[in-house]
Amino acid sequence: MTTHPFIPEFAILGHPNEGKSAVVSTLTENDQVRVSPVPGETTRSSSYTVYLDNTEVIRFTDTPGFQVPQQTLAWFKAFKGNPESILDDFIQTFRHDPFYADECELFRPVAAGAGIIYVVDGSRPVRDDDLAEIEILRLTGRPRMAIINSKTSQNDYSREWKNEFSKTFNAIRRFNANLAGFSERTALLESLKAIDQEWEAVLSRVISAFRSERAQRCALTAAKIVQALKKQSAILRLRPFWKTRMPEALKQHSRRRIRPRSGRLSKRCLPI
């Protein structure tokens, strides 16, 4: 497979059971991404690369959820080193500490240069842990987008989430991972272009490749439908439906039913 010199990568971050894996599965069209209603099922970061014409075009990394954001934020605020190395220093400091195991794991792709897509459930209100996570992501200094993934339609706290996100995120989008189609996927990718100007050109090529591949899919599907209709039409032209499809017993039954009804109908129509 051909490898592009620069593959844009985005780490999907958030609290447990907010829909991170569902977002990855939808964006990559990969049903092998494990999606579970049980919080904390994802314990290791897993990368999923999208290929078009055997060429890598974009990569999304599913990560564990934040477990101890308040303690992690306290460390970030107390950090006195180079801000650009804050993630590397955190991972180095706590790499053997099980208390921070999930935080170290979810920070690794971001420390390696991935952009951030932060996923929240818009059907619940903002909590203190969420504010801690938002501040942690701001302190990373990495380009970031927030996705409001409303898991139910019963409650909607989107306005509350948007008010918080508008303070620190480069882009905000509502995105239902379970219902999103092609247009929603491409619109999300278009928004990702805004979080870092250096990625704009390569993301434009990715979106163009997606649209081209989509057009090819539609043309192929239409051709197969036309071919199937032509084949069916040719079969029907060979013999009438009455002679080829209807079982003999049903034909005889229908004839017996039709004749008496015709006779009774003609009697009713006699002039008085």
Give the per-residue pLDDT at 38: 44
CA quadruple 152, 110, 92, 130: dihedral positive or negative?
negative
DSSP states of 231-251 as a string? Answer: HHHHHHHHS-HHHHTS-HHHH
Give the per-residue pLDDT at 31: 52
Q: Which residues pair with 52 in a beta bridge?
A: 55
What's the mean pLDDT in 125-138?
96
Buried b vs exposed e over 203-238: b needs ≥16 C-beta within 10 Å?
beebbebbeeeeeeeeeeeeeeeeeeeeeeeeeeee
Instruction: Write the pLDDT tens digit of every residue in 71-126.
Output: 999 999 999 999 999 999 999 999 999 999 999 999 999 999 999 999 999 999 99
Between these two residues, 114 and 185, which has the higher pLDDT value? 114
Mean per-residue pLDDT of the chain: 81
Instruction: Write the pLDDT tens digit of every residue in 196-250.
Output: 888 888 888 888 877 777 777 788 888 888 888 877 777 666 555 545 555 555 5
Report the DSSP pairing between strands 115-120 and 46-52. Answer: unpaired
Give the per-residue pLDDT at 137: 97
Q: How many Cβ atoms from other residues are within 10 Å of residue 53's Cβ?
A: 11
